[in-house]
Structure 1
Amino acid sequence: MVVRRRVFGEAEQAELLGTLAEARKALVRAAEGLPRRSVARAGADQVVANIDELAFLLTGSREHFWEPQHATPGE
């Protein structure tokens, strides 16, 4: 059996997740204004992917920061 040891306390983890959420939102907003095939856009996208990987390590979900999907009424 594998024992998982916490690296961060709950308060530290919550603070880190909050900071990562702000950084991720800022990167997504910035990337929207960059050309799709630019080096800057690729760099921003890679950092967002890395933030999602950190979220997976901390929460068990790579989709922790993702916005909920929009649903069509009646579906």
Structure 2
Amino acid sequence: MASEGFKRCRQRASMSLREAAEELEVPPCTLARFEEGREEPDALVVRQMALAYSCTCDELLGIEREE
């Protein structure tokens, strides 16, 4: 589930929910809803998350590539 990736990547970046929300310019309650799977971010927010958390969009969304 993508919501698990949102939280995992944020925590790996050592950011609190409040810090990440401030960086992404969204309310903390909105970011919490993304991480709980109650709401889905649009593509622009996913891109901003990837940049803020220093990870890929695939990591955020839980997409694994087969080699």
TM-score (norm 1): 0.32
Relative contact order (C-alpha < 8 Å, sep 6+): which is higher? 2
TM-score of the pair, normalised by structure 2: 0.34
